[in-house]
Structure 1
Amino acid sequence: MQLDEFKTFVTLADVKNFTKTAEMLSMSQPTVSLHIKNLEKEFGTELFRRSPKFLHITTSGELLLERAKEIIGIVERTKQEILEQSQTIKGVLKIGASYTIGEYLLPLLLRELKDQYTELEFDVLIGNTYEIVKAIQASSIDIGLIVGEYEDKEIRSVPFMEEHLCIVSTTNHTLTANGMTINELQEQSWIMREEGSGTRAILMEFFQSHGLRARSTLTIGSNQGIKEAVKNGLGLSLLPQQLVNNDENLQELKINESLISVFSYIYNPINAEQKNVKAFIKILEEV
């Protein structure tokens, strides 16, 4: 029985989908199935009830899930404690970041961290907010950076930065950049991020609060892809200000409302005393 099998089991229990689990853990779907079969053989019980339409964890599976999370946490803490026997901050810090943060902010943070702690190495996962939360729950990363806030009994969420979001269009769009009303956004074509994205959630809340409807929608899983789609006249979108500045092919449609995105770092409280995690949090609190 290997730690990887426990991590596979915890992830599958969270996402309830073999294909998604394989993608999140960068392994093949048959490997996911093999890990689960090995655990079921080891414990002599069925962990999931399967059908073509659903995947439900069993009572035995619920018990193992609780213990598996504890085991993973103990192993990860032990690894870090062994490294921390010396005063030098070194080893590998596993960081997850949502696409919005990973595309422009994370490299700057890593550069500053590397300058201070030259022996520290990084293992980085980039995904949407939902995927980063799930990675924290599965203990596959030490700390995550997400758009928005998320907190439950297993995860601590701390805001560290705000980012202005802007509605953008191509420069030759029929809407003008200045002096427009929110109602003019009614029945427009929109390009938005995928389900699970923090930026998409903010846009959906904006739509709901103003009773806006989209004439059509296009979903793209990265901000850079959305920028190119907007430039090609496929619709309006909501993007971080940093990604729009100095781009002559985009214009911000100014409205009488501020759209603010909160960046938060999230972590399991059991990791709070790890030196590597504390060093990164110190960098984040100075942003």
Structure 2
Amino acid sequence: MVDLRQLEALRAVHAAGSVTAAARRLGWGQPTVDYHLKNLERLVGAPVLLRSPRGSTLTPVGMLLLDRAQEILTLAERAIRDACELTQMGRVRLRFGTFPTAAAKVLPSIVWRVNDLGIEVDAVLEEVPSLVERINRGALDAALVYTVPGYELPFRAHVSTVEVHRDPLMLALPTGHPLAARSSVDVAALLSLRDERWLFAAAADDPMDTIVIDAFAAAGHSLEVTIRTDDFQVMLGMIAARMGVGLMPSLGVSGPHPGIVLRPIEDPAFARSIRVATSAEGSARQPSTAVRQLVAAIRDGFGALRAEAG
């Protein structure tokens, strides 16, 4: 079994250029560094150092070990740091932003999961453009946002994102519409709706609408937008009243709606990529332990949602 001190000694020799300098770097005695390196060589059955009067360099075997050692030591150091932070932090309050449809589905389970870890969540419900602006200026510790494939949100360099859920988009039509008889809709059928009135989100740059507008623009068509609203129940009511058609995310649908049919779109590009955005901290350029625990709870929340859906 490899001893982490063997890997530390190897890394220090590579950085310092000699066993003597590595010992000073680590605060160990030179015999201690030699002892761990020789044990490492016995373990792999080959020399890891080339020694000379001018210092020491790593052999090809040593370089291979060093590449893996960097990863192992970084993970070990992070594990200890995370455990210490989690032990010492007591109750932590995090500012978490999310868009409303995600909040309705997963926010309670997320809060429940992190509460046991001593993390309290101050939730902000806003639409995606506002959430992006907030996390860019540091007003949020984490934000749940969405985009669509090929469309990037305008985050600053210190913000990173990770996908936690893929939410298919469906075409919402009034019952009796010519496309309602289909079990699904391809892009060609979608483009046949160029003369329909469309219902879009309140924000003109909503990614879910942008993908539709761009698909029609690529075919040389523009759309008539009759109503803008961020309330999906209002949108469904308007569609049921034959005031237009629109796209609905799967998360926005809760049971059947009178007068509405929902049809999946066959192109996988018509889906929301739901992502957690976090702001990196310090020289390590990574979120705090509490934020990483929140991200893990968000993943678990969406995982449970998928399991319930079958």
TM-score range, shorter-chain basis?
0.5 to 0.7
| CA contact 1:100–1:147 (8 Å) conserved in 2 | no
1:190 aligns with 2:191: no
Query: TM-score, normalising length from structure 2?
Result: 0.57
Deviation at 1:101, TM superposition (A): 2.2
Output the CA distance in 2 between the equivalents of 1:255 and 1:86: 48
Note closer, same or farther for the CA distance 1:88–1:110 as it changes in structure 2 (3 Å cut). same
Q: Tell me, what secondary structure is at the counterpart of 1:159?
A: strand
Residue equivalent to 1:95: 96
Alignment size in residue pairs: 204
Please give the residue correspondences for 1:1-287 in structure 2 after superposition, counting only pairs within 5 Å.
Answer: 86-87=87-88, 90-114=91-115, 116-117=116-117, 119-148=118-147, 149-150=152-153, 151-178=155-182, 181-193=189-201, 194-244=203-253, 246-249=255-258, 250-258=260-268, 259-270=270-281, 272-286=286-300, 287=303
Note closer, same or farther for the CA distance 1:216–1:136 as it changes in structure 2 (3 Å cut). closer
Deviation at 1:242, TM superposition (A): 3.2
Deviation at 1:89, TM superposition (A): 5.1
| CA contact 2:191–2:216 (8 Å) conserved in 1 | no
For residues 232-257 of structure 1, the C-alpha deviation after alignment (integer angstroms, 9 at most, x for no partner) is: 32211111123335314221245542
Q: Tell me, what secondary structure is at the counterpart of 1:95?
A: strand
Q: Tell me, what secondary structure is at the counterpart of 1:225?
A: helix
Larger Rg: 2
- Where structure 2 has 5 or more consecutive residues not aligned to the other structure, the ranges are 1-84, 304-310
| CA contact 1:129–1:198 (8 Å) conserved in 2 | no
The residue identity in structure 2 corresponding to 1:147 is Y
Output the CA distance in 2 between the equivalents of 1:240 and 1:203: 13
The residue identity in structure 2 corresponding to 1:154 is H
**RMSD, aligned α-carbons:** 2.8
Note closer, same or farther for the CA distance 1:238–1:124 as it changes in structure 2 (3 Å cut). same
Q: Tell me, what secondary structure is at the counterpart of 1:176?
A: helix
Output the CA distance in 2 between the equivalents of 1:263 and 1:204: 20
Output the CA distance in 2 between the equivalents of 1:112 and 1:206: 40
